[in-house]
């Protein structure tokens, strides 16, 4: 029978978690209740008590209560719960994690889920789910369900929502167990699981290039994981590279760096384009979609940018062309990141444009801005003795994508270490 780690603050939401535990058991799952509250549990006896959770974080519930600092309590109890649940998962005792709560409970559950591997079922019922959920999802495959009403009592609405959450979690862990049994069968075809993995970055305006590269890499025997360059996608790519779960990185779409520099809504943070280099993984890099910064609907664009060049990608996405100065800074940043890489690294440059909107005749075509980026990039690479590989092609030309794929394959096959292939 599969087990679910049920994580929550039992001092404030004991009855709600008792209901969840009962529904999970009724659906055929075992339950390991983890109390992340600083007070005494109400209505449900935990399997892992709050004192154990606090101790795992290097503190005590009494100390946190005396400090009367809710932010610190949430952080410490979340950290302790993350350590203990990760241990349960590592030992095969927990096959999924279910949490529920308001902002504090959601923050605790999010810390727990962030420490767990991709693929392990993670479900959070939250009052915060109808807004910006990026702090709770991060770079992991967290399922979020809006609670509709507050997680405060069992009523005709919460009964439905929490019941659905328990059923969903029980179903997910059962499906995982079934899949594990099928994979363990002697006649199971494991070929796809043995292929080395490639992480690739893509945006709508670089899709033709990445699709062509993926097709070629697939022919060469790789499995390609594509990450949408939306901030969260870039962070997920970085996390996989940091953990060395891939054999190489095809970072064709580095547009998130433009949002980080200028203040767009799809930044992956300043650490973007660093994990593969730090891990020594082979990587090929291109300036995909550096010509644009992302905002929401036109009305959401900050007033200071009103005189800039825009393109309405769709009703919810407004793109702003990067300036010559911004492109030069982006080129310098990419050059420095590539120069500092510990593993094989090659930067490619397409002379005929860096996105579908930067092709001849398209609204973002700006050769001067692109040249400023290329020149700054070349200067930084030259300091480290690296050369930029220029091609007389647009970024979406199949020849450009194939050349990047071939270079990455060459880098990977010239080394004996193939992370992600085991």
Question: According to the model, what pLDDT value does residue 164 have?
Answer: 96
State the Cα–Cα distance between residues 180 and 6, nearest whole angstrom: 22
Question: According to the model, what pLDDT value does residue 416 have?
Answer: 55
**Same domain flag for 139 and 80:** yes
Asked whether the predicted pLDDT for residue 414 surpasses 50, the reply is yes
- The CATH number given to whatever domain includes residue 382 is 3.40.50.12030
Question: According to the model, what pLDDT value does residue 190 have?
Answer: 52
State the Cα–Cα distance between residues 259 and 339, nearest whole angstrom: 22
pLDDT tens digits, residue range 1-49? 679 999 999 999 999 999 999 999 999 999 999 999 999 999 899 999 9
- Residue 197's DSSP bridge partners are 223
Residue 298 confidence class, pLDDT cut points 50, 70, 90? very high
DSSP 155-202: -HHHHHHHHHHHHHHHHHHHHHHHHHHHHHSTT---HHHHSPEEEEEE
Cα 49 to Cα 90, 92, 107, 280, distances in angstroms: 20, 20, 19, 41
State the Cα–Cα distance between residues 218 and 158, nearest whole angstrom: 46
- Residue 311's DSSP bridge partners are 319
pTM: predicted TM-score of the whole model, two decimal places = 0.77
Determine the average pLDDT of the residues in 304-318.
Answer: 93
Asked whether the predicted pLDDT for residue 200 surpasses 90, the reply is yes
**Same domain flag for 254 and 384:** yes
- The CATH number given to whatever domain includes residue 29 is 3.40.50.12020
Asked whether the predicted pLDDT for residue 422 surpasses 60, the reply is no
State the Cα–Cα distance between residues 4 and 33, nearest whole angstrom: 8
Domain count for the chain: 2
| Domain containing residue 341 | 191-413
Determine the average pLDDT of the residues in 178-185.
Answer: 77
- Residue 348's DSSP bridge partners are 389
- Within a domain: 420: no
Which of these three, 154, 183, 212, is where a domain ends? Answer: 183
Asked whether the predicted pLDDT for residue 420 surpasses 50, the reply is no
Q: Which residue has the higher pLDDT, 177 or 48?
A: 48
């Amino acid at each position: 029978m599969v087990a679910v780690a049920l994580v929550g603050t039992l001092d404030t939401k004991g009855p709600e978690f008792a209901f969840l535990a009962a529904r999970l058991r009724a659906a055929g799952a075992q339950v390991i209740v983890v109390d992340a509250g600083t007070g005494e549990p109400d209505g449900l006896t935990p399997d892992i008590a709050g004192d154990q959770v606090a101790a795992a974080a290097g503190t005590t519930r009494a100390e946190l209560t005396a400090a009367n600092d809710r932010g610190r309590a949430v952080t410490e109890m979340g950290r302790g719960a993350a350590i203990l649940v990760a241990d349960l998962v590592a030992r095969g005792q927990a096959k999924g994690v279910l949490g529920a709560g308001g902002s504090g409970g959601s923050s605790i559950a999010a810390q727990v889920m962030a420490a767990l591997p991709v693929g392990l079922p993670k479900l959070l019922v939250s009052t915060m789910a109808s807004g910006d959920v990026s702090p709770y999802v991060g770079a992991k495959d967290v399922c979020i369900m809006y609670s509709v009403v507050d997680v405060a009592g069992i009523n005709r609405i919460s009964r439905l929502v929490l019941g659905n959450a328990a059923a969903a979690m029980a179903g997910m862990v059962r499906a995982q167990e079934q899949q594990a049994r099928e994979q363990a069968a002697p006649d199971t075809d494991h070929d796809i699981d043995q292929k080395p993995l490639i992480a690739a970055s893509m945006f709508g305006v670089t899709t033709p290039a990445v699709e062509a590269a993926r097709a070629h890499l697939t022919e060469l025997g790789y499995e390609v994981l594509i990450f949408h360059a939306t901030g969260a996608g870039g962070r997920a790519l970085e996390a996989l590279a940091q953990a060395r779960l891939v054999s190489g990185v095809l970072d064709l779409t580095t547009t998130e760096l433009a949002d980080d520099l200028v203040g767009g809504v799809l930044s992956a943070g300043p650490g973007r384009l660093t994990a593969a280099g730090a891990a020594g993984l082979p990587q090929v890099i291109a300036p995909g979609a550096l010509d644009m910064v992302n905002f929401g609907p036109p009305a959401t664009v900050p007033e200071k940018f009103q005189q800039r060049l825009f393109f309405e990608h769709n009703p919810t996405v407004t793109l702003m062309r990067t300036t010559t100065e911004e492109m030069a800074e982006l080129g310098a940043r990419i050059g420095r990141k590539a120069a500092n890489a510990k593993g094989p690294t090659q930067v490619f440059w397409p002379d005929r444009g860096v996105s579908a909107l930067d092709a001849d005749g398209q609204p973002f075509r700006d050769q001067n801005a692109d040249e400023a980026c290329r020149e700054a990039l070349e200067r930084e690479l030259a300091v480290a003795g690296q050369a930029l590989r220029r091609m007389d092609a647009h970024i979406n030309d199949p020849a450009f994508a194939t050349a990047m794929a071939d270079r990455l394959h060459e880098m990977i096959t010239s080394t004996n270490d193939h992370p992600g292939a085991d």
